[in-house]
Structure 1
Amino acid sequence: MKYMLMICGDEESYAAMLADEAFQGNCHRWAEEMGERGILGETGGLQGPEAATTLRVRDGRVLLSDGPFAETKEVIAGFSIVDCADLDEAIEVASRHPVAPYGTLEIRPFTG
């Protein structure tokens, strides 16, 4: 089953991750290991919420705004798509992600 790992965190956690000199290397090693296990589909980081464009369609009109839809304490910083046997394996994979000690990984199964 496919799961999306949504990588979330607050600004303080995000800054701590980036300050950790080993963090990028740890991310590459995690992705490499999950690729070798045949689990990892795609993964990537996202620019901050200030780079977001929010779109809504109301009464047939496209409405755009800069930034996120709502003010939140946590932001989505990235994602990984994994193909695991079950939720237990997805939890094991997410718990080993280098972001886990800094932020939050929300695990969601794909529909259908």
Structure 2
Amino acid sequence: MKFMCLVIVDQTLADKMQPEDWAVMGEQSQAYDNSLIERGAYVHAEALQGAETARTVRVRDGDAMITDGPFAESKEIIGGFILVDVVDIDAAMEIAKNIPMARLGAIEVRPVMTF
């Protein structure tokens, strides 16, 4: 079963990180992804550019409104995702607990809907 692990970053914690801290975080994240590949749980993962690069589209009554920035004002932003394929939600939660970026915010885990 596939689960999306959304990486939610607390911007106040991220702002305290130094370039060398980010380098270590990147190495740890890549190593963790590699461990998921070895276990056969990894499907895909991506990091996102900063929230300042976001644009949001809302369509209401056929009219599109486009705004700069994320959909909501928040100190927490979506920083990326890891898509995993594991037996159940408990296995996905074990993966989420060990995602290095969890130390900078939270990991929201959701089952992927199948149609």
Same fold (TM over 0.5): yes
Structure 1: distance between partners of 2:6 and 2:19: 18
Residue equivalent to 1:35:
37
- Match of 2:98, as an amino acid? R
Structure 1: distance between partners of 2:18 and 2:6: 16
- Closer, same or farther: CA 18–108 of 1 in aligned 2, 3 Å: farther
- Closer, same or farther: CA 19–103 of 1 in aligned 2, 3 Å: farther
Matched-pair contact (CA < 8 Å) for 2:3–2:85 = yes
Structure 1: distance between partners of 2:52 and 2:112: 27
Alignment of 1:1-112 (within 5 A): 1-15=1-15, 16=17, 19-20=20-21, 21-112=23-114
Q: Name the TM-score, length of structure 2 as normaliser.
A: 0.88
- Match of 2:9, as an amino acid? G
| CA-atom RMSD in angstroms | 1.5
- Closer, same or farther: CA 93–106 of 1 in aligned 2, 3 Å: same
Question: What is the deviation of 1:17?
Answer: 7.7
- Match of 1:72, as an amino acid? S
The count of aligned residue pairs is 112
Question: What is the deviation of 1:100?
Answer: 1.9
Matched-pair contact (CA < 8 Å) for 2:6–2:80 = yes
Matched-pair contact (CA < 8 Å) for 1:5–1:81 = yes
Structure 2: distance between partners of 1:92 and 1:29: 16
**Percent of residue pairs bearing the same amino acid type:** 38
Structure with the largest fraction of helix? 2
Structure 2: distance between partners of 1:102 and 1:42: 21
Matched-pair contact (CA < 8 Å) for 1:43–1:80 = yes
Any unmatched runs of 5+ in structure 2? none
Matched-pair contact (CA < 8 Å) for 2:44–2:84 = yes
